[in-house]
Structure 1
């Protein structure tokens, strides 16, 4: 063992220890590792930041942006509404939800897919009479499994493809090379989870919902002329609202308010419905019937005087957010109404909804007298909302996402993503260029607000990838990867090629359970290539084993962000994941190794 090999092994062991310790964020650990390699002379200072220009890093950033466009345009919400059964049993419901999560994760960021479907999973668990965790864990595993099916499904696949492109005799993997093995593995595992696996999930109380339950909001929605609700009987509208746990509590026509209107009353265009719904259900309510949120109005003279300013503010599309504010006892809002506060005139913000524990007020939203303890759902520029909260002694409780589907933008965002995938899959353009072009198209068509382009990118992941790629190259150039490969082959695999392939898969899977999956792929790719070189075998099989193993983190809540997302909402403990995760990982090994030997023969 040379001095350089000894130094990089020490640095790698320290890196893994830091990942496991968890006190530093992953990007900090990766940055420290890169700088340590530079100071030790293992990475040339001139090449230290070359990883940030790597096609895999650029592609990951672009995919995150296009994924956010699908979210904000409502494309995924529309798909979920039509793809998921409304009244099926447990097995079919979990299979549909998990399968949809896997499908979405193949073509968008799997963390984004998980975040979008989490509210659906929570509602489904209530309908099925299951704990939230029994639905959330299958969904989390499904979104992780779906990522292994395409090149853009998860960052490890892009890293693996990047390493293959550096081989003298090969080019990067194409869009659907991963599908040959990844799709059968995902299908088998999703079926297992739906048929049997969900029963293995520990039943825990939902800690989050018990400690943070804001209740339903009372809000007003207008019925546009082209709305599906126009000319429908109220009973037909109620049937749709029931699916979103919402209800109509009053109707306003020609400024006349009708409390508890008859189910036989016909709803007309320009009527205002006063509904009660959870914040998470508002988007479903609005999009399913084509309704529009009715903003709390001000005095007419104030509104007219400031109409021009309002138009400018709307056109500027500054950082518009939805924030929940709780009204304190000493707040000057107590006893006042939205109409008297001149919210748009003074702050450029809107009151969209109000939640009250007793929910006994029958007043219009704009005239409802605010009480201490009320929750206000405010919309406007973040600075303006915070200024209002400070001026009126309100406590910001939470920032909410309310992505109201826009059919035109949803179609445009979907077409852009499909076009980018087609350009890359057909080899017309390199993958990074195809998706960068997609981002430019999204910006030009405004399927994603320009202010969200950079916030859509998970910068810690980008820094982690950019920092570890030169470190991985140093493992190869110093011969450390071959050294580790020789140890694995000689000590454990005893020179057997199939055992070596399975060993690479299992080791990668284990590391992915305890450290970031992208970091795992960056560390294991040189070792996989070294193993293939030592045995004189096809490196593709070993790289694919790394891709699969890095995507299969099912034993712990820290191995993948989707596992972490459900830790609180599912009420899980650290040791709850292996009960379903271990059978899934064993199933992955049993299915993937034979498929690797068939599609990527040694």
Structure 2
């Protein structure tokens, strides 16, 4: 038991100081448990010895599989840009106060969580909040941890808000005269959760550090303008578009610099110009604008030079299998002094140049007429393996961080239908959430919203190792009697204390344990203790049972404390210490609020 406590304490400390990777620490803790229990065998209640299989079973836990599958489903929504429209609609509704666009959504999450399972609610709103944050230029880290915490807070206000609530209420009904109804503890729950919600909405975002990958940091600060050209062919979406006030409405994210009509260049301002087949539109645009033009359901530009009409799919590549990357023309490159058609770049590499960026000046001519210089940045499109082969090309230098796949927007309706079905079935309770999550993952891949490589990329190794290792720790605590020892010590220390002190101490101890065990495990362990404490001091058990419900739901200080914390950890780029920094104050606020309000509310 002592060795188990040492391993768990060391693991938590190492998680917090972040000197080593989470994966390494988690694997080390599992290895330590296996070695300790091999040297000092422990027998379970059924007479069998604790083995390595017991410690490794956590890596196939249904909750872990559910979280991983939900991450893959979320990746499917991201890969197809399925929620871009709803996100823009929400931002439009909050026009003038876009920085507060997330608050109504978060409040809706808290209300829904009181009547639905927390996990599908978080799954449903996570991509929406991420898209809203991106639309207003805010980091997802500012809203995703609040999303998880408000779902937990909302879930503690009604009997069905969390499985923990039902678990405790059922046990109390079987072993005492206490019968909790749907809204039995809603009034005090609203007081406690409301106090916590104020902190989550207005104070906690300031404690959250924005962390991005190197690629995201480069791309986020890149406002470079590329010269690109759009060939207007028969059937093109821009055929018949007329200039309004000197601009083309369908190209609002681009600056039109020239319209080449045969041998005649048409320069701005454009008055009474109607685009027709055969025109070439020369534009200056950011990488994001060009990517959007390529990823539209009716693309404005061709991603392959195979003669296809824009708006039709290329024959050699499916939508979404095309990636964009940036390359720099190298010194002494064979491309120098040549135009793109003269260089043979496409025939040599299979990658099509979508735009040219020159730092010194922005030439006003067709992209194919620009003679390349050393230092020019080319925005290229191609399949992933074609982009990868550019690493060995001596004429250009590939900027690895710049490689990104185009979203599969054609599959957005499929992704939305799959997502809606997963959430609806999980929320209804007709099918176990792990079953709907696995089926939804398969549907995302089978329908073409994701390929296998993209799905595997969505799996966060930190989450996988964290959950597996924490469940191994729970096995060690239970089989050595560590959990029971903690509960017994609490009863001994509190003997003779007043009811408010006992209530406050019970909340604090359970609050600590629920962040390292599962909330259900903490609830099951302490329900008989809570009822016994109430009996010993001659009090009704309701205050102590409700105290246990709130405390077991206070899983804010670690990502392993609750499933929704794990779901937001990857998309928010959070580290273990972020939950400690932002979640610990919230847990303490709930403890103090309950300790002050409960004695008055229950007349103790």
TM-score by length of 2: 0.70
Post-superposition Cα deviations, 1:545-589, rounded to whole Å, max 9, x if no partner, equal 244555799xxxxx95677579xxxxxxx99x97x9898777776
CA distance in 2, matches of 1:415, 1:15: 41
Matches within 5 A, 1:432-447: 432-447=434-449
Q: Which runs of 5+ in 1 are unaligned?
A: 123-134, 155-159, 171-176, 304-309, 510-519, 554-558, 567-573, 598-602
CA distance in 2, matches of 1:411, 1:594: 50
Structure 2 residue aligned with 1:216: 225
CA distance in 1, matches of 2:494, 2:398: 59
TM-score by length of 1: 0.70
Structure 2 residue aligned with 1:534: 529
Structure with the greater alpha carbon radius of gyration: 2
Change (3 A) 1:422 1:74: same
Structure 2 residue aligned with 1:173: none
The reply to whether residue 82 of structure 1 matches residue 96 of structure 2 is no
Post-superposition Cα deviations, 1:466-500, rounded to whole Å, max 9, x if no partner, equal 23213212212322123334556766896756424
Matches within 5 A, 1:402-551: 403-404=406-407, 406=409, 408-487=410-489, 496=501, 498-500=503-505, 502-503=507-508, 507=512, 520-522=515-517, 526-536=521-531, 538=545, 541-542=549-550, 544-548=552-556, 550=558
Number of aligned residues = 525
- The alpha-carbon deviation at position 37 of structure 1 amounts to 0.9
Q: Which runs of 5+ in 2 are unaligned?
A: 43-49, 110-119, 156-161, 173-182, 309-313, 532-543, 562-567, 600-604
Name the SS for the 1:65 alignment partner: helix
- The alpha-carbon deviation at position 263 of structure 1 amounts to 5.1
Q: In the alignment, which of 248, 251, 269 is matched to residue 256 of structure 2?
A: 248
Change (3 A) 1:562 1:73: closer
The reply to whether residue 233 of structure 1 matches residue 243 of structure 2 is yes
Equivalent pair of 2:77/2:127 in contact (CA under 8 Å):
no
Change (3 A) 1:282 1:347: closer
Name the SS for the 2:143 alignment partner: helix
Matches within 5 A, 1:560-571: none
Q: In the alignment, which of 262, 281, 284 is matched to residue 270 of structure 2?
A: 262
Structure 2 residue aligned with 1:140: 141
Equivalent pair of 1:552/1:585 in contact (CA under 8 Å):
no
Equivalent pair of 1:327/1:394 in contact (CA under 8 Å):
yes
Matches within 5 A, 1:124-139: 135-136=138-139
CA distance in 2, matches of 1:34, 1:202: 30
Name the SS for the 1:366 alignment partner: helix
Equivalent pair of 2:327/2:379 in contact (CA under 8 Å):
yes
Matches within 5 A, 1:12-91: 12-41=8-37, 43-85=50-92, 88-89=95-96
Post-superposition Cα deviations, 1:521-542, rounded to whole Å, max 9, x if no partner, equal 5466644543334223649715
- The alpha-carbon deviation at position 323 of structure 1 amounts to 1.9
The reply to whether residue 399 of structure 1 matches residue 407 of structure 2 is no
- The alpha-carbon deviation at position 65 of structure 1 amounts to 0.9
Structure 2 residue aligned with 1:378: 380
Change (3 A) 1:266 1:552: farther
Matches within 5 A, 1:6-405: 6-41=2-37, 43-85=50-92, 88-89=95-96, 92-97=97-102, 99=104, 106-108=121-123, 116=131, 119-122=134-137, 135-136=138-139, 140-148=141-149, 213=222, 215-221=224-230, 225=235, 227=237, 230-235=240-245, 244=253, 246-253=254-261, 257-262=265-270, 264-268=272-276, 272-283=280-291, 291-295=299-303, 297=305, 311-312=315-316, 314=317, 320-391=322-393, 392-401=395-404, 403-404=406-407
Post-superposition Cα deviations, 1:54-99, rounded to whole Å, max 9, x if no partner, equal 110111111011101100111122222222139933xx21111455
